[in-house]
Chain A
């Protein structure tokens, strides 16, 4: 069946329909990872977006359900050049076609994904529609596309009630993980290091978390514009003041910045992929990181009395992490939990554990 991707600027790509049978409007973004589409699809940070994989051959190894980074796929749509006819991998549970269909994710295949990427690169991220309606009317659709906003998506992706993830070897440390749309591997990474993790819904009050007396607090990744999360930011401010060691990733990092007086802005087309070099400003070492963000902390508006840059992106010099002055808090824009992507920065979880052991104010 034919399918169309219609962009806000009037560009139309014709391809073939894949996945669930439905029409969607969403923010169109691209990801440059060459492997790891099941993890991308199940990363809650993609809620409210349709993702285009720049690597042209997707679905080669099917989907292994164990690799899911959350309970279901989140993107509104998947845009690919080619879906493999058969999956081939010893761990494969179902084909990607089946996975999309069963989970209600529509998509489009057979389009020039590189041309689409070039448009998004030049004009910036924009909204689009995936439809199988051959009689689409641009005059009607474009205003709708322009009006679309991702809105408050954290609520959609966060867990409904708190739950526990037991540590594998019992370091005795207890971590509170605020689920802003967390990928499973954050809790898994902590559990693998022996931490008992309690996962809290995004709207949990700071007081409730602190009452549980965790050794450290972890703020997860998540979707959308950080500035939409006004009430969460207020609670995070309280966590900041609690003197509990905190480690935050991606949206968590942005929210902590906003909670402490810094600013964020939307990037032209964001960073989504598994190849971004980030530099640790203390050691000078460069790590290849997994990334997925469309917003970034404005480095020009940082108050060094509150926080100083800890990591920057080698390519474009944008902020990739902050170290909070006089606090046992550090936050990163990229994804040390990987999945998909390189595991080079997983040492940050060890640093967090060390921080928890040291406790108090030692940054």
Chain B
């Protein structure tokens, strides 16, 4: 079928800020779709509120709007840009919901806009629980007995009828938000109440619990002519009951015979055919472990996290093909870009095994429950490829960067058999380690299976790994044993640990006996056809397929691994842009990364892609084969920086800023010396290893002090300590893991926090702009609202910052990017920290200033000068608009997580508000973050004494906006005394109605709760904050944020219509 000639201008909706359940995979899908549309000559108009994405670049789409994703904004954009079509299925659930809303309201029809790809009718059939169930019944595809309820009574009655446990799934939510399994009526009431509130349409599905069945997914494609194929299937090692995003997943399925495989495949095709999906779709099944009985769990009629995984697991570009299908092409007309010989109608055949492990945020939220449920908690994931399951599992474990490298990384050896059996019942991220320990203790497979419902096959594979551990420990280490250990991907350091030898000895023994990694290709066809796209994975005991071409200079770009809090999609943005810039300069580019959700691991970004763990040994294997002329580490976050030393040992030159200069910025003594030389002040401090030393430094400086490990991103483990006791507590948390580097203890200064990202060529520095944080120091920069250009600091401060930046960049011999954070107290400027590498704010500042600093940094690394690139060095003139970057959190997904802001980063993503005035930009930023107020115009204020003064001012302004203010005793007294009417509410333990009753009454817009300094030990405050988040009430924990919000709301009252700014036009303006 030829391309639809009526499609010329396409509006693509992105997925907005990164939250748990909706992460980088949509940047990957959206970017691929946009490139695919442009390839077909379409004009692409893109809307996404997330500035850290690659899709929001001027070179990905023709028009780019980084605007809040609301129906109103989209309507305005449609009126302005007059697209003829809308592609809604690339932006996750958020994009799909918006597309539906515009369609249902008749707006699209009114403005002559056609929904491309899957139709609104299809989306309703797939997404609406009742319609979906009816559709499945019609075609004879079984669903678990279920009922959509809109109130508590019906839910209770139905659960009683089908029997507990029951699963609850709210309609139209992300990542299963608000869902869960209820084992009794008490649990049902709790989960159902929450789910009803979170669902966009107030519906929750109550269904028979099929926990323990095998969870199998199929990724399917269908074109407008009705041709269907499956891209691949996947089996969750964790049976039904754990959200697939939190499960360890293997592709293809391992324990299904052809009968089961084809039964479910046919069902999947049957379903998408009935739903008339055009594009990609994900179908999830529960398969009874001892019969052919199955149920359809759900269908996602769009690209998804699973489709990103399937794309990377097979090499089949689902989003790209889906975009072409949306334009009218049929599968047999779309060429498979990997082989160049086959077509998109060819089902990928894998000749390897893929394992995905979720990256869970429990290292960030140490108070949170680790339990895994149908509510997704992972922030990201890693994928690995090997020709055996054990190897793929081992590679995936060490890709996580969570201090794990084998099945012994969590030590449960002290547990008795009984304790293990008990512990095994808990479904959490450590269960696989528990299973391993159970096997070591001799607990039989049947017992393990009965408790966990993990298939025997997987248990046996885990056993093979534990047997290898034992064999290595027992010795002797023969060449044959070593060969076998490497075949199942035991890294040298683990072998060294188990055998008591050194890593060098192991490596030598390997090399002496030719036990080296070989690289195989992911080619979609199991080698049936010669492939032209070099996408590799390593295996031991095979021949390598990498073809040495010795073309030009080769550069190794190290990626940033799994998405986690503190190291997100921004670093993928940087890696991808650097790769493109190197390619433009004539380099052969090689990317190493292990994150299946990202653009960087798309097969056509670099000349070569290595899907591998980012450990020294794994990278060395690649270096041995590729022999690159250099490596860049400054774009891949801390993951890449950590590899610097190893790369140098391998003899790979580090391009850009030298490793010793990176060290100088992190090493306390060296850095102090530089500050002294450059005459730049900083907060006094010292370096320590133990709690005793830390207390000594703290007492010398005087409390409060800032305690943090060095060489980390996202302020991991960073805390403000007020007392010796807190120092002890925080040091214990930091020293849970052995620290390679000292811990820093600094005097805590409270002032305005400012930040710059700059490019330095060794001589000159270019600063695109200065960003100011709305929250005072003490809140991590990644969690602060950041404003460009800095609105409240004096020219003198700006000049000082520019001058200090210049001096620091020069003293550190920075070649490439540098990020510096400052504190301003009056006109005094102190430096907080310097990172001679890319940072979280790089994509944002590049976009809002139109200065592509990653591209520039790359060119500088290659040897060009800033002046040669057509720029005048120094601080660039400020733009004539404001850009506000707003952090976005996923607290509602993580039960038990402390939400109050502090020095340790907690946000998962961000959005941008850009406008002519600061107030409008701020309003847009809040709107983009989903804070859409006012609703009920009622709020609660409960603040610590130090904040009472500011609270009065904020409360006064809210009162003026018509808010009814509730406050706890002392806050209420302070407010009333200052003439702000506040109603006193009781504390939690007092008699009803308490503050908790108010929050649970669903009539509260906002809670302002500032916790006492340091880690809040006040259970009341914690409960109030958690309850707010879990009931969907906005909760603010810093006075500065509250001030910003009230400012934004005051503005919203006046604002009639939002102004729209095309980022792509800024990019064109910024480029000389």
Write the residues of chain A forming the contact surface with B, with a CB cutoff of 8 angstroms: 30, 32-36, 38-39, 54-57, 60-61, 64, 67, 81-82, 84-86, 88-91, 112-115, 117-118, 121-122, 273-277, 279, 284-288, 314-316, 338-344
Q: In the complex the two chains form, is A57's CB within 8 Å of B389's CB?
A: yes
A285 to chain B, nearest CB (A): 6
Interface centre among A57, A64, A121, A343 (most CB of B within 10 A): A57
Q: Please, how many angstroms separate the alpha-carbon atoms of A34 and B226 in the complex?
A: 25
Let me know if B528 is at the binding interface, CB within 8 A.
yes
CA distance A277 to B352 in the complex (A): 22
B592 at the interface (CB under 8 A from A): no
Q: Is B226 within 8 A of A285, CB to CB? A: yes
Tell me the complex Cα distance, A286–B350, Å.
21
Do the beta carbons of B259 and A67 come within 8 Å of each other?
Answer: yes
Interface: B341 (CB within 8 A): yes
Closest chain A residue to B353, Cβ basis: A57
**List of A residues within 8 angstroms of B341 by Cβ:** 315-316
**Chain A: CB-nearest residue to B251:** A34
Among the stretches B115-123, B455-463, B741-749, the one at the interface with A is B455-463
Which of A36, A55, A279, A286 contacts B257 (CB under 8 A)? Answer: A36
A61-B527 contact, Cβ under 8 Å, with A34-B349, A275-B346, A315-B346? no
A30–B345 Cα gap in the complex (Å)? 21
- Complex Cα distance, B387 from A34, in Å, reads 13
Closest to A90 in B: B290
Chain A residue nearest in CB terms to B390? A82
Give me the interface of B with A, judged by CB distance under 8 Å: 225-230, 252-259, 261-262, 265-266, 269, 289-291, 330-332, 341-343, 345-353, 387-389, 455-457, 460, 464, 520, 525-530, 541-543, 545
| Nearest 9 A/B pairs, CB to CB | A36-B258, A275-B347, A88-B457, A54-B526, A90-B290, A340-B258, A32-B349, A277-B345, A88-B456
Asked whether, in the complex, the Cβ of B387 is within 8 Å of the Cβ of A56, the reply is: yes
B261, B346, B528, B545: which contacts A121 (Cβ < 8 A)? B528
Instruction: Judge whether B527 and A85 touch: CB under 8 Å.
Output: no
- Which chain B residue has the least Cβ–Cβ distance from A34? B252
Picked from A56, A86, A285, the residue with its CB within 8 Å of the CB of B353 is A56
Known: A121-B527, A315-B343. A61 touches B255 (CB 8 A): yes
Q: Assuming the A-B contacts A54-B351, A56-B352, A85-B464, are A338 and B342 also in contact, with contact meaning beta carbons closer than 8 angstroms in the complex? A: no
**In the complex, what residues of B have CB within 8 A of residue A81's CB?**
387-388
A277-B332 contact, Cβ under 8 Å, with A90-B290, A315-B342: yes
Q: A56-B352, A85-B464, A90-B289 are in contact. Are A114 and B542 (CB under 8 A)?
A: yes
Least Cβ distance of B467 to chain A in Å? Answer: 10
Q: Kindly identify which residue among A30, A88, A315 contacts B455, using a CB–CB cutoff of 8 Å.
A: A88
Q: What A residues does B388 contact at CB under 8 A?
A: 56-57, 81-82
- Closest partner residue, chain A, to B525 (CB atom): A32
Please name 22 pairs of A and B residues whose Cβ atoms are closer than 8 Å in the assembled complex, sorted by A: A32-B351, A33-B258, A33-B349, A34-B350, A35-B257, A39-B258, A54-B528, A60-B254, A67-B258, A82-B387, A84-B460, A88-B255, A88-B455, A89-B257, A113-B351, A114-B542, A121-B529, A284-B330, A285-B227, A315-B342, A338-B262, A339-B258
Whether A343 contacts B266 in the complex (CB less than 8 A), given A35-B253, A86-B460, comes out as yes
Contacts of A56 in B (CB 8 A): 351-353, 387-388
Knowing A32-B525, A90-B289, A285-B225, the reply to whether A55 touches B351 (Cβ < 8 A) is: yes
Q: Are B343 and A277 in contact (CB-based, < 8 A)?
A: yes
Give the distance to chain A from B227, nearest Cβ to Cβ, in Å.
4
A115–B544 CA distance with the chains assembled, in angstroms: 9
Chain A residue numbers with a CB within 8 Å of B253 are 35
Q: Which residue of A lies closest to B352 (CB)?
A: A56
Which of chain B's residues have a CB closer than 8 A to the CB of A64?
Answer: 257, 259
A114 vs chain B, min Cβ distance (A):
5
- Kindly identify which residue among A114, A286, A342 contacts B332, using a CB–CB cutoff of 8 Å: A286
Which A residues touch B226, using CB under 8 A? 285
Among B352, B460, B528, contact of A117 (Cβ-Cβ < 8 Å):
B528
Q: Which B residues are CB-close (under 8 A) to A39?
A: 258
- Among B353, B457, B460, chain A packs the most CB atoms within 10 A around the CB of B457
4 additional A-B residue pairs with CB within 8 Å, beyond A35-B253, A57-B388, A90-B290:
A277-B346, A342-B262, A342-B347, A344-B269
Of A32, A91, A279, most B-chain CB atoms within 10 Å: A32
Query: Which residues of chain A come closer than 8 Å to B387, judged between CB atoms?
Result: 56, 81-82, 114
Q: B258: which of A273, A276, A279, A341 is its contact (CB, 8 Å)? A: A341
Q: Is B457 within 8 A of A86, CB to CB? A: yes
Q: How far is the CB of B700 from chain A (nearest CB, A)?
A: 61
**Closest B residue by C-beta to A116:** B527
Cross-chain contact B526 with A32 (CB below 8 angstroms)? yes
Which residues of A lie under 8 Å from residue B261 when comparing CB positions? Answer: 34-36
A277 CA to B229 CA, complexed, in Å: 9
User: Which residue on chain B has the smallest CB distance to residue A115?
Assistant: B543
Say which residue of B262, B460, B541 sits within 8 Å of A88 (CB atoms): B460
A63 to chain B, nearest CB (A): 9
Residues of A within 8 A of B262 (CB): 338, 340-343
A114 touches B351 (CB 8 A): yes
Min Cβ gap A316→B in Å is 8
Which residues does chain B contribute within 8 Å of A277, judged by CB atoms? 229, 331-332, 343, 345-347
How many angstroms between the C-alpha atoms of A315 and B339 in the bound complex? 11
Bound Cα distance from A201 to B793, whole angstroms: 94
In the complex, A278 Cα to B725 Cα: how many Å? 72
Residues of A within 8 A of B545 (CB): 118
Using CB atoms, name the residue of chain B closest to A271. Answer: B528
Asked whether B353 lies within 8 Å of A54 as measured between CB atoms, the reply is no
Q: Given the complex, which residues of B lie within 8 Å of A274, measured CB to CB?
A: 347, 349
Contact assessment for A35 and B256 in the assembled complex, using a CB-CB cutoff below 8 Å: yes
Contacts of B389 in A (CB 8 A): 57
In whole angstroms, what is the CA distance A80 to B456 when docked? 21
CB distance from A361 to the nearest CB of B (A): 30
Q: How far is the CA of A60 from the CA of B290 in the complex (A)?
A: 15
Docked Cα-Cα span, A339 to B258, in Å, equals 7
CB proximity of A25 to chain B, nearest CB, Å: 24
B230: chain A residues at CB < 8 Å are: 288
The answer to whether A286 and B227 touch across the interface, beta carbons within 8 angstroms, is yes
Residues of chain A lying within 8 A (CB to CB) of residue B227: 285-287
The answer on a CB contact under 8 Å between B254 and A112 is no
Complex Cα–Cα for A264 and B348 (A): 28
Closest to A269 in B: B528
The smallest C-beta distance from A271 to any residue of chain B, in angstroms, reads 9
Tell me how far the C-beta of B963 lies from the nearest C-beta in chain A, rounded to whole angstroms: 61
Residues of B within 8 A of A314 (CB): 332, 342-343, 345-346
Alpha-carbon distance A91/B290, docked complex (angstroms): 8
**B349, A90: Cβ atoms under 8 Å?**
no
- Closest B residue to A284 by CB, please name it: B225
> Is B464 in contact with A90, judged by CB distance below 8 angstroms?
no
Residue of B nearest to A120 (CB): B527
A35 CA to B350 CA, complexed, in Å: 11
**Contact of A114 with B527 in the complex, beta carbons under 8 Å:** yes
Residues of chain A lying within 8 A (CB to CB) of residue B256:
35, 61, 89
Q: A88-B457, A91-B257 are in contact. Are A117 and B343 (CB under 8 A)?
A: no
Nearest chain A CB to B3's CB is how many angstroms away?
16
Q: How far is the CA of A81 from the CA of B291 in the complex (A)?
A: 29
Q: How far is the CB of A194 from chain B (nearest CB, A)?
A: 20
| Complex alpha-carbon distance, A118 and B547, angstroms | 14
Partner of A55, one of B225, B455, B456, B526: B526
Q: How far is the CA of A223 from the CA of B856 in the complex (A)?
A: 63
From A277, which residue of chain B is reached at the shortest CB distance? B345
- Min CB gap B286→A, angstroms: 15
CB pair B343 A118 closer than 8 Å = no
User: What is the CA–CA distance of A30 and B529 in the complex, to the nearest angstrom?
Assistant: 12
Given A39-B258, A88-B460, A288-B347; A112-B332 close (CB under 8 Å): no
Task: Write the chain A residue with the least CB distance to B254.
Answer: A60
Closest CB in chain A relative to B895 CB, distance in Å: 34
What is the CA–CA distance of A59 and B331 in the complex, to the nearest angstrom?
Answer: 33
Find the A residue at minimum CB distance from B518: A112
A54, B352: Cα distance in complex, Å: 9
In angstroms, Cα B255 to Cα A60, docked, is: 6
